[in-house]
Amino acid sequence: MKCEYDVLSGGPLPREAKEVLEGYRVYEAENGKDLWDKARKSRVFINWYTEVNEGMLADHGCLELIITRSTGYDHIDVKAADQVGVCVANQPELINEAVAESVVAGVLAAARMVLPGYEYAISGEWSRRGWPRHMRGVLIRGRSLGLLGAGWISSRVAHIMSSLGASPLLYYSRSRKPWLEVSLGAKKVGLRELFSSSDILINTLPLSRETEDLITFDLLSMLPENSIYVNVGRGRTEAKGAVVKLAVERPDIYLVLDVHRDEPLPEDDDLIRLAKERDNILITPHIAGLSQESFYGTILLAAMQARDYLEGSCVWNPVNGSCTTCTTIRPSLDEAIRIARMSLRT
């Protein structure tokens, strides 16, 4: 098959990304029925959350590389891509930083009752009922921190939370994380110990066959009194109905939920109804990874990764075995943020 494009982008590219790919045949498409047909005629596909399944990959044409402009890649059948020799890479750098900051913001908002306090003040309750003695919240210092998954986001959260005095640090992961153990004194534990011993529990698990429905009500119900449970991983890591049942039976637990089993949540969802009635449920619409810098900067970094592939047949962030990892120096996180902010000003 003749390759019509070097790079297909599943959405518009900012000016800086176009400059990075100058000299290459680039097509900016809209997500639609003919998107995969264009992807098959391209060497590199910068994927804006388009599903890529086994059937599509069976006839991948010219396609050599899929770069998803996201951290997660469960919308791509990575195993099928590997079987046909298509490299899959992700672009997590700026998104991970945004998610980590969102986790800390959610924990602090829960612990210090920021949103209930806001509602109390603007609703007129403050003037009618006086100082809210019932809004005591809890301190972070001296509370145990549990990490369900111990990748980059969890590690970043752990370092920030440790600086606020959270201790001890526990984590659950398939493998040991020596850097967490050495730098923060973290301890690797099993699932039941993690849930029963974590005053603050952060779920950053990706969705996979191993993690789907992993978190049951039985595990959630083991959380200590007045604990905080945060999920910025994937909603389907929680068993169906488990979180709603927890909200009903354990009103002492504060829930900070950015991801959900079904998205968007229906207006009549039980969790939304409970959130309207309670002060201990904070729901956001899967925006933890979304910031101005992460949105524009991630597209720019994806373009740079695509250029490195076209020039050297390698990628920065390989996901499957069909990729070759670049040995060239890529932009640091601070440099990526600086470039993203420059693009926002132009």
Q: What is the dihedral of CA 235, 283, 280, 163, to 10 degrees?
A: 80
* Same-domain check for residues 166 and 213: yes
* Same-domain check for residues 177 and 261: yes
| Cβ partners under 8 Å of residue 234, min gap 6 | 72, 74, 205, 206, 207, 211, 259
Note whether residue 122 is domain-resident: no
Instruction: State which residues form the domain around 321.
Output: 5-94+291-345
Note whether residue 108 is domain-resident: no
Cα separation of 121 and 145, whole Å?
Answer: 31
* Same-domain check for residues 268 and 154: yes
Note whether residue 110 is domain-resident: no
Which listed residue (234, 250, 260, 261) is catalytic? Answer: 234
Instruction: Quote the pLDDT of residue 98.
Output: 96
Mean of all residue pLDDT scores within the chain: 93
* Same-domain check for residues 170 and 268: yes
Which listed residue (133, 263, 267, 345) is catalytic? Answer: 263
The residue out of 230, 246, 278 marking a domain boundary is 278
Which CATH number covers residue 305?
3.40.50.720
To the question of pTM greater than 0.95 for the whole model, the response is: no
* Same-domain check for residues 226 and 299: no
* Same-domain check for residues 214 and 268: yes
Note whether residue 139 is domain-resident: no
* Same-domain check for residues 269 and 150: yes
Note whether residue 90 is domain-resident: yes
Domain count, the chain: 2
The residue out of 244, 278, 312 marking a domain boundary is 278
Note whether residue 129 is domain-resident: no
Instruction: Give the Å distances, CA to CA, from 311 to 6, 23, 40, 246, 326.
Output: 11, 12, 20, 52, 11
The verdict on whether 286 is a catalytic residue reads yes
Note whether residue 258 is domain-resident: yes
Which listed residue (75, 112, 159, 286) is catalytic? Answer: 286
User: What is the token pair recorded at 62?
Assistant: 């010219």
Lowest mean pLDDT among 212-216, 227-231, 297-301: 297-301
Instruction: Quote the pLDDT of residue 232.
Output: 97
* Same-domain check for residues 266 and 208: yes
The verdict on whether 156 is a catalytic residue reads no
pLDDT digits (tens, 9 = 90+) for 37-59: 999 999 999 998 899 999 999 99
* Same-domain check for residues 245 and 268: yes
* Same-domain check for residues 164 and 261: yes
The residue out of 278, 304, 319 marking a domain boundary is 278
Note whether residue 127 is domain-resident: no
pLDDT digits (tens, 9 = 90+) for 119-178: 999 999 999 999 998 888 899 999 999 999 999 999 999 999 999 999 999 999 999 999
* Same-domain check for residues 202 and 155: yes
The verdict on whether 16 is a catalytic residue reads no
State CA 113 to chain mean position distance.
Answer: 24
* Same-domain check for residues 12 and 82: yes
